[in-house]
Chains A and B, each alone.
Chain A
């Protein structure tokens, strides 16, 4: 019989806690998602029969829309956020004095910890129907209640979180780059933008991947931002989950959406990581 090693024993309390606080609730959620729901009840009856109906109904266009909106807005916002955060991080690392670098990094950290509700209402006040932007929109014949515009506002709200998260992640990876590489590329005839494209960018792939995954998973699971800025017209999966549990008390359906969201998150992380590492490897061997 194998005796568990001492260090193995040390991991036990953590593992037990993890099982009790995360795995058990997830199993309960999984079981609930398979129960048949009777309208009017709060949650499924303890003896309700098992069914796949809660999953099947997610394929209906009305539900599918939530998935697509969430993924689309999250993806576009993440890409835009990285496009802003990357040059920002690069500037902070390369052009700032150590004093200003410390101030900038401190500012980004503070921004992350600033209350989500505060940041989100700040966006609503400036970009929403009462803000200074609304009259401009009306001038060009747009309504602040136009659903495309609302998606844009939700994206702007998400950027409040994504930019500092992504910038902080990227600062680390840019700091590890040799600044001489860009100069070498320039001395070999590549204009500045091409020098960055052929050195800085490919060498930051790991950092960009990390920043992308952090930002994207944050966006997919966003709750407060789409709830406040989406005004019911743009809703994310989290809002629908909340709606299922709290408004209709349809626990089985809420549980099914939660689990599908989790799977979508994992699938995205897996696919993007595979794609990027495969490309990096192909480059390395080529």
Chain B
């Protein structure tokens, strides 16, 4: 449905989009995820037609739209701050696109009612946007964007202007609406929860480039590089040197960290001496009883409890390692008593849970 082919866009000396290529299938929900300045908003504006690429091609439904104006593309947009027309009623806001996209006049009132029904705003059609709550305004904006049956729907940070609780509710609801309508959707966001909660496929961008494309689980559990691993979720990182195919197992190898830990990881082929970034998600670490013996694919790490934060659903435990580093463990906040500050605990990591990435010149502590 949507094809972005090798699109590059410069603003002065900075590259906002650098040879960006991806496709979105009919009815698919995809997210462009990245920190501010990563080029995701530029990509959205290029697809919407507000910017023209320096090179590359954008096709919607097989048609090359690269040089066309925004109003010549059938793209629906949901803006971060809604951008509802403040001088028009809810009804006129939703009808705006229908009028300009040439819907038969007689059908417009029915279509508007149907759209307001879809977003559960029946009866508010005569209100002005200023008289609506933030969540209601967002629904009107969604109804307005979907009314004309756009070939592609672009959502720009759709939930960032709402408070946390409403954000969660609306996320589920927007997803449901998009699915029921069958829209081909791109969600641009810097919020990983928004991306992972709504999209089936995530495109992670950094400095104008696509760094990884994959399902939310791929991105989280199998990050392709240090940037993706660091941007999505938390993790504990070490730098390890491969000791060569180790432990007599073909699927395991041992990486020795700077601090002298020996980590048992499920590495592909640990060339002896090669340096890796090795990370593990805090919720994959498990506190075990002291003195437990590790299995062949396990590593035990001993540390002193520095801090325990009960954050509602989960408990964050920060350990100080003997060599001075820190390790964060996340546990479900269940009945099991939390370790006390200053206590010495043993933590178990399984080989399969380590993310092992070849070292990329730069290093940053996460």
Contact = CB atoms under 8 A, between A and B. Distances in A.
Nearest to A283: B87
A185 B87 CA distance: 13
A93 B9 CA distance: 24
A185 B141 CA distance: 12
A115 interface: no
Contact of A184 (B69, B79, B87, B128): B79
A186 interface: yes
A261 interface: no
A41 B363 CA distance: 97
A286 interface: yes
B109 interface: no
Interface in B90-144: 96-97, 100-102, 128, 144
B216 interface: no
Interface residues of B, number: 26
B76 A187 contact: yes
A180 B71 contact: no
A286 B87 CA distance: 10
B83 interface: yes
Contacts of B84: 184
A185 B96 contact: yes
Interface residues of A, number: 22
A203 interface: yes
B48 interface: yes
A37 B48 CA distance: 74
Interface stretch (A26-34, A55-63, A146-154, A188-196): A188-196
Interface string B52-89: 00000000000000000111000111010101111101
Given A203-B86, A284-B87, A186 B70 contact: yes
Interface in B250-294: none
A190 B100 contact: yes
B50 interface: yes
B71 A189 contact: yes
Contacts of A184: 77, 79, 83-85, 144
A202 interface: yes
B292 to A, nearest CB: 58
Given A178-B81, A283-B87, A188 B69 contact: no
A188 B101 contact: yes
Given A186-B71, A189-B100, A180 B79 contact: yes
Nearest to B86: A203
Nearest to B79: A180
B87 A192 contact: no
Contacts of B128: 284
Given A188-B148, A189-B71, A191-B71, A203 B77 contact: no
Contacts of B49: 186-187
Given A188-B96, A189-B148, A192-B69, A183 B85 contact: no
A199 interface: yes
Contacts of A16: none
Contacts of B86: 203
Interface of B: 48-50, 69-71, 75-77, 79, 81, 83-87, 89, 96-97, 100-102, 128, 144-145, 148
15 contacts: A178-B81, A178-B83, A183-B50, A183-B77, A183-B83, A184-B79, A185-B85, A187-B48, A187-B76, A188-B100, A188-B144, A189-B102, A192-B69, A198-B96, A284-B128
